[in-house]
């Protein structure tokens, strides 16, 4: 049996979940980033209408789906002229992230770079392939044997957005190294503040890559923007050679997006209204929770896009998790996202309005950290 993966970190949160559950008014679980609002009707209908699917689906994606992805990249991400054979569906983004190093043929002696504070799947992918993981944001410090670089903008857990100059610097260094640059962009439609008016740039944005997609991959998921986490609906786009090779491996190994989901994604990508509605719901939840988190005494870092508030009381993250659990509020310790997060916790805004209001009220009624 493969032994290279540690126990799933969320097990460590269980005792704190129990403390929070013991709160007389019940738990307010702000730990998970799993959407709670219903899947929009228009997407449910598309799935239902495609429910007869006797034959195998296309691994590369139906032409209709790929055209919808290309159109979406042009309309929403400012990426024009992406050919249809340079996009492909994935079964959610997580499998793609976890298997990409292996699919690229990486192994011992190779380095996979991830952000200093990082979503947990990048390290899993490195471990599955036997490559070394290096957590480093400064492109100049990426080692010479780097073969794959993960960017995550907007970031989980910190909500940090990489702007055009930052993406260009990453791309320049990746080109020097001859490494694949993969950008995980699944929160790109959920910008706040500056990013409500300005488009969050993709790695494929012409201001970044000037139309040259060599060695680039952009990953996007409908889990968050469309409440589709249960459908496993995502896609990747970029370098022609990479996409072709990945489709080939995926075809051999049976990694196909189910046909009804392909239909549902096609419809979802064409509809902006539901994305806007969900954005508005999250905007309000974030406003309520952010104010309460700050009033309690937290310092908030980044958190300029996405579904999380990344905050610190300047103490060990587990002490903060305990403090919050005693209020019946469950948050995630930053340690889950690499050591540089060890004084931070992550609050998720993917809870119902009622739960967000309740969580905010509990923080407000508590004496607060500074008092
Ligand atoms: C940064 C990031 N990437 C990828 C994913 C995976 O998304 P999915 O597999 O649902 O597409 C998540 C989910 O939380 C995430 O936060």
Interval 300-351: pLDDT, tens? 999 999 999 999 999 999 999 999 999 999 999 999 998 777 999 999 999 9
Same-domain check for residues 23 and 111: no
Higher pLDDT, 35 or 9: 35
Q: Is the CB of 233 under 6 A from ligand 1?
A: no
pLDDT grade for 369, boundaries at 50, 70 and 90: low
Cα of 223 to ligand 1 centre, how many Å? 8
Say if 134 falls within a structural domain.
yes
Residue 77, pLDDT > 90, answer yes
CA 339 to chain centre: 19
How much is the pLDDT for 368?
A: 66
Quote the number of domains for the chain: 2
Q: Is the CB of 234 under 6 A from ligand 1?
A: yes
Please give the average per-residue pLDDT across 68-85, as a whole number.
Answer: 97
- Residue 203, SS3 per DSSP: coil
pLDDT grade for 243, boundaries at 50, 70 and 90: very high
Same-domain check for residues 121 and 203: yes
Q: Is the CB of 263 under 6 A from ligand 1?
A: no
Question: Which of 208-217, 254-263, 334-343 comes out lowest in average pLDDT?
Answer: 334-343
CATH number of the domain that residue 301 is part of: 3.90.1150.10
Residues of the domain holding 80: 52-270
Same-domain check for residues 258 and 290: no
Please give the average per-residue pLDDT across 277-285, as a whole number.
Answer: 98
Of 247, 270, 293, which closes a domain?
270
Distance separating alpha carbons of residues 73 and 206, to the nearest angstrom: 12
Q: Which of 89, 95, 100, 223 has most ligand 1 atoms within 8 Å of CB, for mutation?
A: 223
Same-domain check for residues 238 and 339: no
Same-domain check for residues 292 and 264: no
Of 214, 248, 270, which closes a domain?
270
Same-domain check for residues 33 and 125: no
pLDDT grade for 3, boundaries at 50, 70 and 90: confident
Same-domain check for residues 180 and 56: yes
Distance separating alpha carbons of residues 258 and 206, to the nearest angstrom: 32
How much is the mean pLDDT over the chain? 96
Model's pTM, two decimal places?
0.97
Cα of 306 to ligand 1 centre, how many Å? 11
CATH number of the domain that residue 253 is part of: 3.40.640.10
How much is the pLDDT for 131?
A: 98
Distance separating alpha carbons of residues 287 and 141, to the nearest angstrom: 36
- Residue 191, SS3 per DSSP: strand
How much is the pLDDT for 221?
A: 98
CB-based contacts of 277-285 (< 8 A; 24+ apart in sequence)? 277/40, 278/37, 278/225, 278/226, 278/227, 279/189, 279/190, 279/225, 281/37, 281/353, 282/190, 282/307, 282/349, 282/350, 283/192, 284/353, 285/349, 285/351, 285/353, 285/356
Please give the average per-residue pLDDT across 118-144, as a whole number.
Answer: 97
How much is the pLDDT for 22?
A: 98
Q: Is the CB of 98 under 6 A from ligand 1?
A: no
Q: Is the CB of 46 under 6 A from ligand 1?
A: no
Helix or strand run (H / E) with residue 349? none
Helix or strand run (H / E) with residue 154? none
Distance separating alpha carbons of residues 51 and 22, to the nearest angstrom: 43
Of 270, 298, 326, which closes a domain?
270
Say if 317 falls within a structural domain.
yes
Same-domain check for residues 306 and 356: yes
Model confidence over 96-117: pLDDT tens digits?
999 999 999 999 999 999 999 9
Same-domain check for residues 257 and 121: yes
pLDDT grade for 210, boundaries at 50, 70 and 90: very high
DSSP category for residue 305: B
To the nearest whole percent, how much of the chain has pLDDT over 70?
99
Q: Is the CB of 152 under 6 A from ligand 1?
A: yes
Q: Is the CB of 348 under 6 A from ligand 1?
A: no
How much is the pLDDT for 290?
A: 98
């Amino acid at each position: 049996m493969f032994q290279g993966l540690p126990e799933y970190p969320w097990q460590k949160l269980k005792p704190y979940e129990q403390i929070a559950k013991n709160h007389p008014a019940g738990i307010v679980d702000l730990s998970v980033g799993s959407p709670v609002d219903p899947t929009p009707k228009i997407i449910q209908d598309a799935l239902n209408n495609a429910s007869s699917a006797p034959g195998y689906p296309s691994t590369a994606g139906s032409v209709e789906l790929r055209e919808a992805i290309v159109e979406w990249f042009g309309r929403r991400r400012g990426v024009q002229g992406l050919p249809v054979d340079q996009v492909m569906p994935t079964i959610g983004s997580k499998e793609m992230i976890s298997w990409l190093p292996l699919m690229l043929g990486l192994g011992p002696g190779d380095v996979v770079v991830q952000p200093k504070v990082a979503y947990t799947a990048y390290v899993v992918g490195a471990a599955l392939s036997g490559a070394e993981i290096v957590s480093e944001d400064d492109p100049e410090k990426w080692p010479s044997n780097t073969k794959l670089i993960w960017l995550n903008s907007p970031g989980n857990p910190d909500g940090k957005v990489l702007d055009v100059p930052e993406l260009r610097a990453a791309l320049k260094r990746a080109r020097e190294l001859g490494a694949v640059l993969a950008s995980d962009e699944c929160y790109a439609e959920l910008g706040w503040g500056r990013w409500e008016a300005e488009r969050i740039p993709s790695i494929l944005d012409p201001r970044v890559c000037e139309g040259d997609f060599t060695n680039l991959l952009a990953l996007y998921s409908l889990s968050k923007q469309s409440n589709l986490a249960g459908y496993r609906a995502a896609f990747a786009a970029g370098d022609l050679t990479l996409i072709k090779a990945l489709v080939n491996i995926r075809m051999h190994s049976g990694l196909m997006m189910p046909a009804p989901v392909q239909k549902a994604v096609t419809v979802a990508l064409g509809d902006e209204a539901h994305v806007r509605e969900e954005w508005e719901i999250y905007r309000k939840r974030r406003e309520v929770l952010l104010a309460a988190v700050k009033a309690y005494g937290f310092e908030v870092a980044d958190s300029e896009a996405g579904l999380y508030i990344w905050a610190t009381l300047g103490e060990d993250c587990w002490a903060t998790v305990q403090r919050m659990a005693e209020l019946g509020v469950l948050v995630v310790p930053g340690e889950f996202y690499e050591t540089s997060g060890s004084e931070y916790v992550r609050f998720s805004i993917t809870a119902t309005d009622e739960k967000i209001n309740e969580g905010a009220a509990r923080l407000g009624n508590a004496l607060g950290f500074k008092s």
